[in-house]
Chain A
């Protein structure tokens, strides 16, 4: 049913289930899980481990009167409603739309030269995440290679020595992976790319452009 072949690794899925990852990485995983049933099931499994960890944690005594204090907090219950985050139809799943301000057609791109465009969606001292739009035959910009780097394809495709990456596929690279992904001919390749290295504006552009001139 699904053509997705490159998934979120167990370590990253455990980190996402545990809630210990940078926002930038979380966004890529939430976007991938939105369109990948395999990883949706895997997330449920890791969240169950979280439940087991709570269950097996040695209890710490609550203060006297804590139940009464909590009972005083109880108010009306929520009624079940339609999903608060219904499935989006289009190129971007719902979590990505929240960050991009709409679907792919709504993105306010900034040119990086060579036909490559980007839009930074979020950046803090724990990481950064951006959208990239790359014409066929052009290299996917290198976004840092410090720490871990996740590149999720949303439209079009790219390929490198490690394989072909189409919609939904996510490439996970660290410093040890030497690769130059190239966008495949056809529709512009749109990727969501995140790194857990802090974004440095002064060195960003030259590093981004460097791979473009390698081909």
Chain B
């Protein structure tokens, strides 16, 4: 059951955050570290450098566990952004300024329905990526390996974009309404 599998990552993150659970961290590590290492090697890092970087990213996942919000992003997405930023630091090709953060009200226990919906959207997107025709999938992958310039990225990749976007937009509208 892939959905349950993905939900477990959110549960492992909560165990890491609430109980500093090293066993939960070990399970997260055994899933994500080898994928991060492969991802970083495809991004141009040498195997030993990719290994060090993957370890470093996983240690950052531990350190920042309390900042992970499962209603805003999936676990794999959050880990990807940490790895991306680390790769940019290593490349020394210039910074990537971040947008300003919104004053999200920090909710100790995010709405379970929101968390579940976000996980399902993420799963759907991962499935859609895997099912893309080979050539289109390669373009998306190469873009995320940092292997394509923006002018080489085809604007239309055939991904069902808009599922997570509409969910985030609803959350933003709720937030703006609350701030008015």
A residues lining the B interface (CB < 8 Å)? 1, 9-12, 14-27, 30-31, 33-34, 37-38, 40-45, 47-63, 66-67, 69-71, 73-80, 83-88, 93-95, 98-99, 122, 124, 126, 148, 174
A49 to B79, CA, bound (A): 12
Contact A45 B126 (CB under 8 A): no
Query: A185 to B55, alpha carbons, bound, how many Å?
Result: 56
Q: Find chain B residues with CB under 8 A from A67 CB.
A: 26, 29-30, 33
Identify the B interface with A (CB < 8 A).
17, 20, 22, 25-26, 29-30, 32-39, 41-42, 47, 50-51, 54-56, 58-59, 62-67, 72-81, 83-85, 87-88, 93-104, 106, 121-122, 125-126, 129-130, 140-141, 143-151, 153-156, 159, 161-166, 168-169, 172-173, 176
Q: How close is A147's CB to chain B, nearest CB, in angstroms? A: 8
B133 CB → nearest A CB, Å: 15
Chain A residues, CB < 8 A from B168: 40-41, 44-45
Asked if A44 and B73 make an inter-chain contact with CB atoms under 8 angstroms apart, the answer reads yes
Are A52's CB and B76's CB within 8 A? yes
Nearest CB in chain B: distance from A136 CB, A: 29
**Chain A residues in 8 Å Cβ range of B37:** 59-60, 62
**B55 pairs with A52, CB closer than 8 A:** no
Whether the pair A41, B94 counts as a contact (CB closer than 8 A) is no
Residue of A19, A31, A52, A54 with most partner-chain B CB within 10 A: A52
User: CB-nearest residue of chain B relative to A10?
Assistant: B155
Asked if A80 contacts B66 (CB within 8 A), the reply is: yes
Contact A53 B97 (CB under 8 A): no
